[in-house]
Structure 1
Amino acid sequence: MGDDLSYWARGTALAVARYAVIVATVGVLISVLPRTVAPRIQPRSPRPAQLRREAISSIVSAVIFSSILYVSVMAHLISPQPFESLPIWRWAVALLVLLIGHDTWFYWTHRLLHTRAFWPIHQLHHQSRTPTVLTAYAFHPLEALVNGAFILPASLITPLSYPVLVAFMVTMIARNAMAHGGREVFPAGRDGHPRLGWMTTVTHHDLHHQRGAGNYGLYFSFWDRIMGTERADYLDAYRRARNGASVGVSPQPIEGDPVAETPAAHSGQRP
């Protein structure tokens, strides 16, 4: 038992440290970019109380994520394979499958958390109307459990190894922190649309925090487009952000499942 607790403690400390290093790195990188390259999306800045709340929630979430992985391995719910058991290209495919699978898990559980029954859990995350890199893990403990549980179905759809799991976690944290970073780093094409239109931009998720509805994807935009939940004002907000015109925070309160209440507000239609 003592060895098990020591192993859990070391793994958890590593998970918290990994999160802190990645989030800090992303925060520094986007902050030093010129405004012409990464303009601010919102005109206002977060308050110190928000940053403190996000930091505490993030540590709790990192502990929960690490604990889920620990229990899953110790209970043989997942069995990571030796890295040398498969060629590198197979592990590259496994990482891609993990990202697509996680985006799918995130989209549908995110939609569920926006229903009235589960909104009280998700509301903690949405207290950050002006998100920061720390918002990435600022979850209610129950929401962290839902997010962390992805590792169980993931083991059924693709082989896992510890290097692939680490690569997935690093990618997930960095991409999540970037999405909450408040600076639009995704370049626009000549038509004003995102050059990587199949990926969610920072404005894409920032609007979700501002309005509280629509734009539920994490890495990719295809589920929002298929299900008609990409906000109708997204591309206009993206163009304004790229042109250096801040996108103001909506004064309307966030409550319930806005998809069911006001579907016309984010029809998903793209010009």
Structure 2
Amino acid sequence: MRIQSFAQLLIFAFFIGLVGWTITNQVGRTQLKIKSREDWLLDGIGLTIQGILIPLLQATLVYFFYQHLLPTQQGYLKVPLITNFIISFVVVDYLYYWNHRLLHTKFFWKVHQVHHTITQMDVLGTSRNTLWTSLLIVYLWIHTLFLYLLADPTGYLLGVSLTSALDLWRHSRLMIPTNTRLYQLLSSWLILPQDHTWHHCREICNYNYGANLKIWDKLHGTYYENKKLPSMIGIPISLSLVKKLLFPF
């Protein structure tokens, strides 16, 4: 639990850093000024659920569920730190890729569409969703399972922290300039904010489902690349605040 608390602290520090950059950036500061009260409320509730409620749920109810389901398997997996990290950063990333695609199917889209109402890439909108969408995301269940099964989850939690930090980053406007060596180093394999911006584009949102790695989108034909940014992101939906939070059908 001490390691998990430290991981949460690192993620929070990264989030505060991105918020600080947004405030000091002229474009980002302008975006914050024009956000509606409803958007502030949606984003604030989403971040509270994602950052506080979900970790508490993982540490209590879901963890106790695995204790009941697998009473003799706690700490059963004794694998090296690097293997733990790969499970978290690569294997779970592939599970999330399919989870994300599932949310874009006709049956689940009504739930996920609230996330796509953000009209500007903004770190505060990372967790905009209905109140219960997180129950449908693989992270809630798979992270707790591995934390329960692993004898030493340090490497796994490192992967979780890095994935969470990347999730915050790819929803921000902190873009890596395309003419830099850093962009050349990362752009071939890592999902960047530029890539995820196109996922939120109104016309072609059924691309770039990956969280960490581009290989899954490239492998399954859902990768879209464009060094320019889309002219418009976000979808218009005529739902009240209550419906966006509770029942967007």
**Residue 240 of structure 2: aligned partner:** none
| 2:88 maps to which of 75, 78, 98 | 98
Residues 251, 64 of structure 1: alpha-carbon distance in 2 compared, 3 angstrom cutoff: closer
**Residue 169 of structure 1: aligned partner:** 160
The whole-number CA distance in structure 2 between the counterparts of 1:160 and 1:142 is 31
**Residue 213 of structure 2: aligned partner:** 220
Q: Does 1:248 align with 2:248?
A: no
Residues 176, 186 of structure 1: alpha-carbon distance in 2 compared, 3 angstrom cutoff: farther
The whole-number CA distance in structure 1 between the counterparts of 2:57 and 2:153 is 15
The whole-number CA distance in structure 2 between the counterparts of 1:17 and 1:152 is 18
Residues 98, 227 of structure 1: alpha-carbon distance in 2 compared, 3 angstrom cutoff: same
**Residue 15 of structure 2: aligned partner:** 23
Q: Does 1:116 align with 2:99?
A: no
Q: CA deviation at 1:224?
A: 0.8
Structure 1: 5+ residue stretches without partners: 1-6, 242-246, 255-271
**Residue 179 of structure 1: aligned partner:** 170
The whole-number CA distance in structure 2 between the counterparts of 1:116 and 1:127 is 17
* Residues 42 and 129 in structure 2, CA contact (< 8 A), matched pair in contact too: no
**Residue 61 of structure 1: aligned partner:** 50
| 2:141 maps to which of 149, 159, 173 | 149
SS in 2 for 1:70: helix
**Residue 35 of structure 2: aligned partner:** 47
| 2:200 maps to which of 195, 203, 209 | 209
| 1:230 maps to which of 223, 229, 236 | 223
1:189-217 deviation per Cα after TM superposition (whole angstroms, max 9, x unaligned): 68xx7432111111101111123221111
Moved more, 96-105 or 146-155: 146-155
The whole-number CA distance in structure 2 between the counterparts of 1:59 and 1:251 is 22
TM normalised by structure 2 equals: 0.71
SS in 2 for 1:230: coil
Q: Does 1:198 align with 2:189?
A: yes
Structure 2: 5+ residue stretches without partners: 238-249
SS in 1 for 2:124: helix
* Residues 208 and 215 in structure 1, CA contact (< 8 A), matched pair in contact too: yes
1:160-189 deviation per Cα after TM superposition (whole angstroms, max 9, x unaligned): 534334423321221110010122126546
* Residues 123 and 168 in structure 2, CA contact (< 8 A), matched pair in contact too: yes
TM normalised by structure 1 equals: 0.66
* Residues 12 and 66 in structure 1, CA contact (< 8 A), matched pair in contact too: no
The whole-number CA distance in structure 2 between the counterparts of 1:177 and 1:167 is 16
Q: CA deviation at 1:96?
A: 2.0
SS in 2 for 1:150: helix
Give the letter aligned to residue 113 of structure 1: L
Instruction: Count how many residue pairs are aligned between Structure 1 and Structure 2.
Output: 222
The whole-number CA distance in structure 2 between the counterparts of 1:53 and 1:143 is 13
The whole-number CA distance in structure 2 between the counterparts of 1:165 and 1:69 is 15
Give the letter aligned to residue 47 of structure 1: K
Q: CA deviation at 1:31?
A: 6.4
Q: Among all aligned residue pairs of Structure 1 and Structure 2, give the percentage whose two residues are the same amino acid.
A: 18
SS in 1 for 2:185: coil
The whole-number CA distance in structure 1 between the counterparts of 2:236 and 2:127 is 22
The whole-number CA distance in structure 2 between the counterparts of 1:176 and 1:251 is 18
Residues 54, 178 of structure 1: alpha-carbon distance in 2 compared, 3 angstrom cutoff: same
1:234-258 deviation per Cα after TM superposition (whole angstroms, max 9, x unaligned): 22xx2x35xxxxx41158758xxxx
SS in 2 for 1:195: helix
